[in-house]
Amino acid sequence: MSSSKPGIDRPLTIVIAAMGGEGGGLLADWIVEGAKHSGILIQSTSIPGVAQRTGATTYYLEMMRAPEGHAIDPVFGLYPAPGYIDIAVASELIEAGRLLEKGLVSPDRTTLIASTHRIYAMAERTALGDGSFDTQGIMTAARELSHRLVMSDLVDLARERNTALNAIMLGAIAGTGLLPFQNNALETAITTRGISVASNLKGFRAGLELANTPSVSENAVDLSNASPLTGHVAHPLITRARQRLPATALDVIESGIARLIDYQDTEYAALYLDRVERIAAIDRETKQSDNTTLTREAARHLALWMSYEDVMRVADLKSRRKRIARVRQESGATFDEPVRITEFLNPGIEEFATLLPTGVGRRLMQWADNRGITHRLHLPMHLRSDTIWGMIRLRFLAWLSIRRRNSYRFILEQAMIERWLDAAIHAAKMDLNFAFEVICCARLIKGYSDTRERANRHFDHLLERIVTPALAGLLAPVTATAWLKDGCAAALADDEGKGLEAILDRGPPTSTFAASQSPTAATPPVTA
CA angle 106, 111, 113 (to 5 degrees): 120
Q: Which residue has the higher pLDDT, 219 or 29?
A: 29
* pLDDT above 90 (res 41): yes
Contact at 8 Å (CB) between 341 and 353? no
* pLDDT above 80 (res 69): no
pLDDT band at residue 422 under the 50/70/90 scheme: very high
Q: Which of 225-234, 270-279, 368-377, 443-452 has the lowest mean pLDDT?
A: 225-234
Average pLDDT, the chain: 83
Q: Which of 68-72, 101-105, 426-430 has the lowest mean pLDDT?
A: 68-72
Residue 224 vs residues 220, 247, 254, 295, 447: alpha-carbon distances, Å: 12, 7, 9, 15, 29
Residue 411 vs residues 100, 294, 404, 422, 519: alpha-carbon distances, Å: 49, 25, 9, 17, 30
| DSSP annotation of 61 | E
Task: Tell me the pLDDT tens digit for each residue of 435-452.
Answer: 999 999 998 888 777 778
**Using H for helix, E for strand and C for coil, what is the string for 417-446?**
HHHHHHHHHHHHCCCHHHHHHHHHHHHHCC
The Cα 61–Cα 298 span in angstroms is: 50
* pLDDT above 80 (res 49): no
Task: Tell me the pLDDT tens digit for each residue of 451-476.
Answer: 788 888 899 999 999 999 999 989 89
Q: What is the mean pLDDT of residues 196-210?
A: 93
pLDDT band at residue 53 under the 50/70/90 scheme: very low
Q: What is the pLDDT of residue 517?
A: 38
Task: Tell me the pLDDT tens digit for each residue of 362-406.
Answer: 888 888 878 877 777 777 778 888 889 989 988 998 898 888 898
Q: What is the pLDDT of residue 289?
A: 58
The Cα 24–Cα 51 span in angstroms is: 12
Q: What is the pLDDT of residue 52?
A: 47
CA torsion through residues 304, 307, 308, 312, sign: negative
pTM: 0.65
Q: Which residue has the higher pLDDT, 223 or 314?
A: 314
CA torsion through residues 345, 346, 350, 355, sign: positive
Number of Cβ within 10 Å of residue 192's Cβ equals 13
Q: What is the pLDDT of residue 292?
A: 65
One-letter amino acid for residue 88 of the chain: A
Comma-separated ranges of CATH 3.40.920.10 domains in the chain: 12-211
* pLDDT above 80 (res 1): no
Contact at 8 Å (CB) between 341 and 386? yes
* pLDDT above 50 (res 33): yes
Could you tell me the CATH superfamily of domain 12-211? Pyruvate-ferredoxin oxidoreductase, PFOR, domain III (3.40.920.10)
Q: What is the pLDDT of residue 134?
A: 80
Q: Which residue has the higher pLDDT, 289 or 198?
A: 198
